[in-house]
Structure 1
Amino acid sequence: MLEKFDGSKSKRVYDIITGDESWFCYYDPKTKRQSQVWVTSNDPHPTKVRRQRSVGKHMFAIFFMKSGFNTIIPLENGKTVTAKWYANEYLTQVLKQVEKHRRLNGLLIHHDNAPAHRAALTMEYLVTQHVKLMGHPAYSPDLSPCDFWLFPKIKEQLRGKNF
């Protein structure tokens, strides 16, 4: 892939759009590392009340490109990603946003191998829109920017906050 895009020097990297879905808890307590404080040897150690992660959570689907975020869509409460929703609602909104700035011809979409992403309905929709699919090796979250970069960064910023 690096050869194909000339080590990210090629303008073709602007043709790639990537996305995924993730659960976000309404409250996620800070990690031990996030709540560390410096104290002198004379100061008492602060007490930390152990908090539980909230039961409530919401799933968000996010797509972005090198030029920035494209689409962030919350799923309805209790809903999960299905091929029908992914192809007919989500990808439709994503591609409408892309079309505001460029043509779809030559667009490369990258997502993981989730069942909704690989379903026949999804593949048919991408073909009708003239969008090509980038391959994603099985069990390789290290190749998905959402898994190794975006979602951990967002969740780190949300820790200790209610939403």
Structure 2
Amino acid sequence: MATVFWDAKGVILLDILPQGQCINAARYCSTLDRLKEAIRRKRPGLLRRGVVLQHDNATPHSANLTQQWLQRYGWEILPHPAHSPDLAPSDFHLFGPLKRHLGGMAFETEDDFISELRNWFDNLDVDFFRVGINSLLSRWQKCIHLTGIMLRSSGRELQSV
């Protein structure tokens, strides 16, 4: 299982679980620790401006331990209505092209697969990521328009990057 954190500039962290392991709240918090360090290295200044994550309501994301971690560091969560893949950039923008890229490939080892996965992400143009994040803005605006929900993140309205 892989978890990828990305923004309009590209991948910040690709976290791959060893085969046979599953994600729980403790593992997710450990991943957030690595994400925090990756942001510090790759996106200097972002931690001071504030981090807004979008993730679903899976148990590791909504667990008390995770919520405490997020509160401790002041990270915000962009709401994600249940069963809304049209609002998850990985679902609507990332997984289709990745599936097409990997289609028909066979890997002898898990390491071969991981290497190909990392290579694919490393070779994506930054425009790919910007388009995906900017698509999120229009999708949220459509959702807000259709449902009448006002969405704000600490008083900041969603804006294009």
TM-score when scaled to structure 1? 0.61
Alignment of 1:68 onto 2:14: no
Task: Output the amino acid matched with 2:16.
Answer: P
- Give the superposition deviation at 1:78: 0.7
CA deviations over 1:95-122 (Å, ceiling 9, x no partner): 1111222242421111111111111111
Measure how far apart 1:67 and its partner are: 1.3
1:133 pairs, out of 77, 80, 89, with 77
Aligned to 1:143: 87
Of Structure 1 and Structure 2, the greater strand share is in 1
Match of 1:55 in 2: none
The residue number in structure 2 matching 1:96 is 37
- Is structure 2 residue 64 aligned with structure 1 residue 123? no
What is the TM-score when the length of structure 2 is the normalising length? 0.61
Alignment of 1:1-163 (within 5 A): 59-87=1-29, 89-100=30-41, 101-105=44-48, 106-163=50-107
Secondary structure of 2:11's aligned partner? strand
| More relative contact order, 1 or 2 (CA 8 Å, 6+ apart) | 1
Select the structure of larger CA radius of gyration. Answer: 1
- Equivalent pairs counted in the alignment come to 104
In the alignment, structure 1 segments of 5+ residues that lack a partner are 1-58
Deviant stretches of 4+, over 4 Å: none
On the 8 A contact 1:61/1:73 being kept in 2, the answer is: yes
Instruction: Give, in angstroms, the shift of residue 86 of structure 1.
Output: 0.3
Hey, what's the Cα distance between the residues in 1 that align with 2:9 and 2:16?
Answer: 22
Q: Deviations over 1:48-100 (max 9, x none)?
A: xxxxxxxxxxx11111011111001110111111111001x211111111122
* Letter matched to residue 114 of structure 1: A
Partner-residue secondary structure (3-state), 1:138: coil
The gaps in structure 2 that reach 5 residues or longer are 108-161
SS in 2 for 1:161: coil
Root mean square deviation of aligned Cα = 1.2
